Every structure is written in C-alpha cells, then in structure tokens.
Amino acid sequence: MRARYRDGTRSRSVEVTPQGGTSYRVVVDDGELMVTAEPLDDGRLRLSGPNGVIIAEVTSVGAQRFVRLGAMDFVLEREVAGRARDGAGGSGGLEAPMPGVVTRVMVQAGDTVEKGQPLLAIEAMKMEHVIRAPRAGRVSKVAAAAGEMVKGGVALVEMEAAAE
C-alpha cells in the first residue's frame, strides 16, 4: 500500500509492505521502520518496533486522519493521487479559511485591489476573519454574498494578478 499524507505544509509519502503475520515494513519518506501492528478494541493499534511499544489511535474523517501516538496528537490529510493541491500561483481563488457566515463583502468583480486590501469578512464562533488580497490585482469573481453560510475551503473570491 502506498499513500501520501499532507502534514502541515509538507507532503509525506508512505509505503507499507506486509511481512507476514502482524509484521510490516513501512517506509515513510526515506526512512524505513520494521513494526508489528496488532489491532485492539476501539480502533486502537498496538505498534511495536525496536524502540518499544506504543498505542496509536487513528480516526478518519473525510480526508483528515486524526492520529494519536501515546499522548501526542497529529492531524494528517490523505492526498488523492493526481489531485495534489497547489496553493501557489499568480492567480486563482481565495478560500474560506473555515466554515462560517460571510458578514461583509467589500469588493466586487472588476475592482482593482492593492496587496493586503480587505476583500470580505467571515464570522465564525464570535470571531471575525478578514480575507485580504495576497497581492495586487483585479477581482475577477466574488462567489459569496453577505449573510451567506459557507463551508471551509470554498473559493470565495477569484483574482487575477496585476499586469507587470
């Protein structure tokens, strides 16, 4: 089994090769681990390797993987092959950082904006988050109206970079 997980800003690769019984060879990025993995109740996993035994608990929610290792928590995101996210680029969409209600829309399509200029505001859990232009450019599309509920990750404003 091969998979890629997003870990913050990184993309981590993993390959699992069963070695018979409960033994596995796991290659994470360039590091090799030889482990035994025994399923316990309640989704837990008893992992033993050369450094000892640790209990892992993994919960899958959509693409998210909540991983608890001993008393540490990590959140990874399963990447689907061929659909790696690319946030960098001269133009493109500005996404809602979280689900919430759009409270103010401060630009409309066609507007020229400065870098850092507020575009719209989202309110969630009593806190307002202002989405600002990451660079100077022109707004090509505004995909949300004030009062609208939006999901996290949904593109709200599309921008074209300013011509050189």
Partner 1 sequence: MFFQKVLIANRGEIACRIASTLHELGIRSVAVYSEADRGALHTRVADEAWPIGPPEPRASYLNIEALLEAAKKSGAQAVHPGYGFLAENAGFAEAVERAGLTFIGPTAEQIRAMGDKRAARSLAEQAKVPVVPGAEGDDAKTLAKAAATMGFPVMVKAAMGGGGKGMRAVHDAKDLAEALDSARRIATSAFGDGTVYLEKQIEHPRHIEVQVLGDGNGNAIHLFERECSLQRRHQKVIEECPSAAVDDALRARLTGAAVALARAVRYRGAGTIEFLVDATGAFYFLEMNTRLQVEHPVTELVTGLDLVRAQIMVAAEGKLPWTQDQVHARGHAVEARVYAEDPARGFLPQSGSIVRLRWPHGAFLRVDRGVEAGDPVTVHYDPMMAKIVAHGPDRATALARLSGALDETRVHGVITNLPFLRALVRDPAVRSGAFDTEWIERAFLPGFESVASAPAPELAVAAAALAELLGLATPARTPHEANGVGAPAASDPFVTLGAWRLPGLG
- The residue ranges that bind partner 1 (CB under 8 A) are 1, 3, 5, 7-10, 12, 14, 16, 24, 26, 28-29, 31, 33, 35, 37, 39, 42-45, 47, 49, 54, 56-61, 65-69, 71-76, 78, 97-101, 124-127, 129, 152
Give the Cα separation of 41 and 55 in Å (integer): 11
Contact 83, 77 (CB under 8 A): no
Pick 23 or 112: Cβ nearer partner 1: 23
Which of 65, 138 has the CB closer to partner 1? 65
Length of the chain: 164
Between 38 and 114, name the residue whose CB sits nearer to partner 1: 38
Q: What is the CA radius of gyration of the chain?
A: 22
- C-alpha span between 108 and 15 (Å, rounded): 47
Q: Is residue 45 a contact partner of residue 51, using CB atoms and an 8 Å limit?
A: no
Closest approach of partner 1 to the CB of residue 26, in Å? 4
Question: Which residue, 110 or 123, has its beta carbon nearer to partner 1?
Answer: 123
Report the nearest approach of partner 1 to the CB of residue 145 (Å): 16
CB of 5 to partner 1, least distance (A): 6
Per DSSP, the three-state class of 36 is strand
15 forms bridges with which residues in the sheet?
Answer: 2, 27
Smallest distance, Å, CB 54 to partner 1? Answer: 7
Q: How far is the CB of 49 from partner 1 (least distance, A)?
A: 8
**DSSP 8-state code for residue 136:** S
